[in-house]
Structure 1
Amino acid sequence: MSRLRMAVIGVGHLGQHHARILAGLPDVDLVGVVDSSPDQAKAVAARLNTTAYTSHESLLKTVDAVSIVTPTIHHHSVAAEFLKAGVPVLVEKPICRTLAEADELIELAAKAGVPLQVGHIERFNPAFEELSRRPIRPKFVEAERHGPFTGRSIDIGAVLDLMIHDIDLLLALDGTLVKKVEAVGASVFGGHEDMVNARLTFESGCIAHVTASRITQRPKRRLRIWAPEGYAGIDFVTRKLVLVQQSPEVRQYGLRADKLDAAARARLKDEVFGRHLQVRYVDGDRKGDQLTNELRHFIDCVRTGRTPRVTGEDGREALAVAERILESVRSHEWEGRPEGSVGPTKMPRPAGWLFEVPRAEAA
């Protein structure tokens, strides 16, 4: 089998990891890395024994596939050029800035007959892959994606930078359209929103509470699902999944604590987990990291013509929901009236200092 000639466009914080992994795959020939910073391109190329470029145009006719990890504002223009040249594209999330741009990429990929995959990486997290193999119909979901400020991705806010991961996961799990969106968010550093909370109502009846913040001290990325089949909890950082289901006896006959005598109720607290509720822990950490899994999947789609797990259409649907969330965030009335403070950058004025107790109360 011939080696696949690939390049990475944009080798900043994330892109250099794309390049590192591709350079280490035996069936890939990393023919070049591109970055607008010549020094960054040269440094990454030197480490990986490949060629540095400051422009992608010279690679249009020399690669079999490409990974695009530029800032979001460049996704459409760069991906469109490669798709027009008939080159399969993996483009980082979000797919584009607008739905119109996303639609054009989808059309170009279909016209060229090549794969267009969107980098919603958590679909390849081993813990989520384990959950996806099991029958579960979410009815209430809590998704949290928090992290410290990194100074990266400042061309977009927390919704397109972080929350869109969980939007994509929810759409994949539920499979129905989002019927209603309510959201609130605030900007701390100016410009875009830095923390957001959204409530999504799906046509299936599922309710999802989704939060994203890029100003927390410690990272947290987890998903908790309550369903008729039981409970599932994912820690995306540790790649661990916990599953809880009713015992066959409880599923068939139910469990009424109010009908038990005092002795049985006393035993119940020690018997809930194990006897009545069965618990299983699944460690996905031994099944590889999600970025390597994602890149291997893309390469397989390029070689075989299979449809990517995360298609351009999937990326577009996640972007469409994200836009609805942003619209709700921007129109939120902080004081319950349109003439008051509205939107993420116009919070009400502080009433005082949190670290100080008013004198009268202190006395």
Structure 2
Amino acid sequence: MTRSRVAVVGVGHLGQHHARILSEIPEVELVAVADSRIEQARSVAEKTGTRAVADYRELLNEVDAVSIAVPTFMHREVAGDFLARGIATLVEKPLASNSAEAEELVALAQVRRTLLQVGHVERFNPALSALDGLPMRPKYITAERLSTYTFRSTDIGVVLDLMIHDIDLVLAMNPGPVRSVVAVGVSVFGGHEDVANARIEFEDGCVANLTASRASFQAMRKMRLWSAEGYAMLDFMTKQGTLVRPSEQLRRGQLDLTGVDLTNPAEVKEHLFGTVLRVDQVQSEIQDQLKLELEDFVQAIRSGTPPKVSGQQGLRAMRLASEILRAIQTHQWEGDSDGPTGPRHLPQPLAAPNSLLKGPFSWRSRTGRPASSNTPQSQ
């Protein structure tokens, strides 16, 4: 069987790894790499044994498939040109700059009956294997995705840059409709939002609380899930998972502490997290997530099987991300429509510490003065 002719468009920080991995897949002929910075393209081409071009449009008649890792604002144009030719396309996350452009790409792929895959690489994280085979229906999900500022992806904010990973994962776990979204965000570096939190409630009662920051001094990528079936903690950095599941006896509302010395904390802990609650640490084989993603893409190209993350799934993540961004933009910091709203228009901070702010309630005062000492006390 002949090899699939594939190109990579955009070979910067991430795209160069797309090129390297694709050049090593036996079923792939890496036809070329394209980047408007021709010297960067030539450097990557030399390492991967292919040729470099500055204009990706030179490749429209030469390839069977393309992997696109250009800045997000270019996704609609670049991916659209390849999809219009019926060329199988992998687009790095997020699918587009906004949901309208994402809708257009998905519609174009459908009209041309061609493959559109979205690069939500966390779907291939080995930590997710902790959930394999478990009948878990999460009812409360929390996720924290924190990083330092990298000066990349500055054309989008933290919702489309980082939180989009967890949005996609949550939607993969709960395919039902969303009932409501509440969100808040702050611009730290003067452009888009750099810190954001979103609370998402689904119609089936599931609640997801997502936090993302690219202004953190400490990196973290964790997700926690609570359900009637148990609890799971997924660490996407260490690629490990922890499962805590109740015993059948505890499910029936029975807690048997017979023979346990309740004055011995170590013995109590061992009994609770061994007999009453079963704890499993899951460490999967460490694998290159990007390699798994690209192999999935190549498999979909050659066999016609659906990719793990289709254009439709990428679109659903974009739709929810757009709702979150709208909620961030309209958030009223002081509950007043005439007051500051959105990630860049924050309330004026206090100029200095205020000695009058004492006690648990005085902060509620608009003047910053504590409540009068004559205020009646509850009995």
Q: Structures share a fold, TM > 0.5? A: yes
Partner of 2:98: 98
**Contact kept? 2:130, 2:242, Cα under 8 Å:** no
Range moving further from structure 2, 135-144 or 104-113? 104-113
Work out whether residues 126 and 289 of structure 1, in 8 Å CA contact, stay in contact via their aligned partners in 2.
no
Question: Which residue of the partner structure matches residue 79 of structure 2?
Answer: 79
| Contact map agreement 1:147 1:220 (CA 8 A) in 2 | yes
Cα distance change on mapping 1:177 and 1:359 into 2, 3 Å: closer
Q: 1:316 maps to which residue?
A: 315
Q: Which residue is 1:335 aligned to?
A: 334
Amino acid corresponding to residue 144 of structure 2 in structure 1: E
Please say if residues 239 and 286 of structure 2, whose CA atoms lie closer than 8 Å, have aligned partners that are also in contact. no
Match of 1:126 in 2: 126
Find the counterpart in structure 1 of residue 227 from structure 2: 227
1:254-293 residue pairs with structure 2 within 5 A? Answer: 254-255=254-255, 263-264=261-262, 267-284=267-284, 286-293=285-292
2:218 aligned with 1:206? no
CA distance in 1, matches of 2:169, 2:155: 23
1:100 CA drift (Å): 2.5
Name the CA distance, whole Å, in 2 between partners of 1:318 and 1:264. 48
What are the ranges of 5 or more consecutive residues in structure 1 without an aligned counterpart? none
- Give the C-alpha shift of residue 268 in structure 1: 3.1
Deviation at 1:107, TM superposition (A): 2.0
Aligned match of 2:369? none
1:120 and 1:165 in contact (8 A); partners too: yes
Instruction: Describe the superposition over 1:300-354 as per-residue Cα deviations: whole angstroms up to 9, x where unpaired.
Output: 011111111111111111111111111111111112212111110011122136x
CA distance in 1, matches of 2:346, 2:262: 54
Name stretches of at least 5 consecutive residues in structure 2 with no aligned partner. Answer: 358-379
Q: CA deviation at 1:269?
A: 3.3
C-alpha distance after superposition, 1:69-105 (max 9, x if no partner): 1111111111111111111000011111232322222
Instruction: Note the alpha carbon deviations across 1:23-44, whole angstroms, 9 max, x for none.
Output: 1222211111111111211111
1:295 counterpart residue number:
294
- Residue 46 of structure 1 is matched in structure 2 by 46
Q: Is the 8 A contact 2:140 2:207 kept in 1?
A: yes
> Aligned residue for 2:375?
none
**What's the RMSD between the two structures over aligned residues?**
2.0
CA distance in 1, matches of 2:195, 2:52: 37
2:339 partner SS: coil
Structure 2 counterpart SS, 1:282:
strand
Name the one with the larger helix percent: 1
Q: Is the 8 A contact 1:158 1:193 kept in 2?
A: yes
8 Å CA contact 1:35, 1:53 repeated in 2: yes
- Any conservation in 2 of the 1:185–1:329 contact (CA below 8 Å)? yes
Contact 2:260 2:268 in 1 (8 A): no
The aligned residue for residue 326 of structure 1 is 325
Task: Give the TM-score taking structure 2 as reference length.
Answer: 0.89
Deviation at 1:270, TM superposition (A): 3.2
Count the aligned residue pairs.
355
1:349 is the counterpart of 2:348: yes
Q: Is the 8 A contact 1:123 1:129 kept in 2?
A: no
Alpha-carbon distance, 1:360 to partner: 9.3
- Output one character per residue of 1:41-77: Cα deviation in whole Å (capped at 9) or x when no partner: 1111112121111111111111111101111111111
The amino acid that maps onto 2:48 is L
Larger radius of gyration: 2
Does residue 196 (structure 1) correspond to residue 220 (structure 2)? The answer is: no
